[in-house]
Structures are given as structure tokens and as C-alpha cells.
């Protein structure tokens, strides 16, 4: 997986209150979360990946890293404006699991 695509997966998962699980052997990008969040996250990732991949041949790595920074910032700002729903439980669940495991 290209570095920019990995960053895109992590940032997109964060915005949709999901977790990204890198699975290089299965050829897909798995996202974990609650309710419809992982599905919507996967759709957004797929859309952004497709758009960015189309121009990949003409761009350098630094361009993609810059795009990832801008997209990450914009998605984070949108998340701040969008009300949190009952489906945004991944951080809470993650915290409980970590506290239980130690």
C-alpha cells in the first residue's frame, strides 16, 4: 500500500469514528466501527482513493502527502461541525477495552 493511501485510510477512519485495520494479504481495506459508520467510511475512502489514483501518474509523493494533510484537516473540521450521534461509540469502547486490558 502506498504511503498516501495508508494515511488516507487512517484519517478517513478517524473522521468516521472507525478504526482502520491494515490487512495486506486480503486485498481490501477493512474499517471497524458501530452501525453504518464503517460502511460509509469505506465508501468515502473508496471514492477519494479512486479520484486520487487517477492523477497518480502525474503527481509526486509530496503532492499526495499535501493532499492528505488538506483532506484530513477538512474532514476533521467537518466532524467538529457535525453533531455526534449514538453511533460514535468507537472511542468510548476503545477506551474501555484499553482500561480493561491495562
Residue-wise pLDDT tens digits, 46-83: 888 888 877 655 566 667 777 778 888 887 887 777 65
Q: Is the Cβ–Cβ distance between 43 and 53 less than 8 Å?
A: no
Q: Is the Cβ–Cβ distance between 16 and 44 less than 8 Å?
A: yes
Residue-wise pLDDT tens digits, 7-23: 889 889 988 888 888 77
Q: Which three cell numbers stand for residue 67?
A: 493532499
Strand 31-32 relative to strand 19-20, pairing: antiparallel
- What is the pTM (predicted TM-score) of this model? 0.56
How does 11-30 read in b/e, with b if 16+ C-beta sit within 10 Å? Answer: bbbbbbbbbbeeeeeeeebe
**What angle is formed at CA 5 by the lines to CA 29 and CA 20, rounded to 5 degrees?**
40
What are the sequence ranges of the domains in the chain?
3-101
Amino acid at each position: 500500500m502506498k504511503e498516501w493511501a495508508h494515511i488516507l485510510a487512517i484519517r478517513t477512519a478517524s473522521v468516521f469514528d472507525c478504526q482502520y485495520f491494515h490487512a495486506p494479504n486480503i486485498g481490501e481495506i477493512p474499517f471497524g466501527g458501530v452501525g453504518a459508520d464503517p460502511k460509509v467510511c469505506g465508501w468515502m475512502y473508496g471514492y477519494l482513493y479512486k479520484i486520487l489514483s487517477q492523477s497518480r501518474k502525474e503527481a509526486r509523493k509530496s503532492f499526495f502527502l499535501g493532499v492528505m494533510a488538506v483532506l484530513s484537516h477538512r474532514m476533521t473540521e467537518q466532524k467538529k461541525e457535525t453533531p455526534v450521534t449514538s453511533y460514535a461509540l468507537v472511542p468510548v469502547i476503545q477506551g474501555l477495552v484499553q482500561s480493561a486490558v491495562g
